[in-house]
Structure formats: structure tokens, C-alpha cells
Amino acid sequence: MAGKIAGLWAALRKPSTKYSLLGLLTVGFFSGVFFWGGFNTAMEATNTMEFCISCHEMRDNVYQEYKKTIHYSNRTGVRATCSDCHVPKEWGHKMVRKIQASAELWGKLMGTIDTKEKFEANRLRLAEHEWARMKAVDSRECRNCHSFEGMDTEKQKLRGAKMHKIAQDEKKTCIDCHKGISHNKPKGMKEDDE
């Protein structure tokens, strides 16, 4: 009996290569699952409204404006949140956007928009940057909910139906015409942006 225990103890202290590799792969697999789950959970947590308005710069400025728009309250009860408009759904595009957004933390750390006055002084620059981003991706996030194909122009007001037809013909994107749809337009906009 003592010999069997000694043999077992020796095998556990110096396992064969086969069992070492299997153990390593098992630990690697479960570590990967754990890491991926934690990473994905963190990414989704940063897409919540609570996270977006956790800093006073957003809560006291753009969030207050957004609460007065049709994207916040409407007859159907469908609400678009910050991430619906500012974060892509597809994983690769989402990661690129998250990396870009991490650069925005610099403004928070440096205090460039930490008061209403500073925010307003930077609003046009911030808006132009976001409009350019949206235009570059053909208003991808808008199209998660809105599409020309899904529009029933018969139910739109005459002007809206006409403008949507022109936009389709001229290959325009949502942000070309809908600046200020969820936030106040900045002072100093160029005439063609209005």
C-alpha cells in the first residue's frame, strides 16, 4: 500500500508530458473563457446610459438636451441611447470606436470641458468631429434603426418624403441633413451645416 501511494505521489510530482500538456490546455481554455467573458461584460457595461452620463460633462450638457428629443421620448416608446448612436454593433467596428473613445478621456483628465462654459466653447469642434466620423461610416449607427428601404414615404410629410428622395438620389447620409437631431446645434456652424 505504501508503495502504491509513493508511486502515485511520484507521478503527481513529475507528471508525464501528455498530462502536462492536457493540463496546460485545460487551464488555457478556461482562462480564455474567463478573460473573454470579463472583457465582453466590461465592453457592454460601457455601452449603458448610466455609464455614459456618469461624468457631469455628459450628464449636465448633452444628456439634458437629449431628454428633450424624439430619440428619448416618442409615441412608440422606442428609445435610442448614447451607444445606439455613437457605438457600432459589429464587434470589430465597436473595438475601433472604443479605442477612439478612450482618447476622449484626455478631455476629461485635462478639464477642457469640465464646465458649461468650456463645453460650449468646444461644442462646435466636438460636433464637427462626430459628424465627420458619422459621415465617414455612412451614418452606420443611424441605419441600425433607420433605412431608406424601410421608410414609407406615403406616411411622411411631403417635405420629408421629398428630402429623403433627394438624399437617396444624391447618395447623402443621415448626418448630412440631421445635425442637431439629438443635441443642440453648436453656435458658429457654417451655413451649409444648418
Contacts of 189 (CB under 8 A, 6+ apart): 124, 179
Answer yes or no: is pLDDT of 24 > 70. Answer: yes
Q: For 80-116, how does the pLDDT look when each residue is reduced to its tens digit (9 = 90+)?
A: 999 999 999 999 999 999 988 887 788 788 888 888 9
Indicate the average pLDDT of the chain.
Answer: 88
What pLDDT sits at residue 191? 61
Model confidence at 131, in pLDDT bands (50, 70, 90)?
very high
**Domain range summary for the chain, segments of one domain joined by +:** 54-182
What pLDDT sits at residue 193? 52
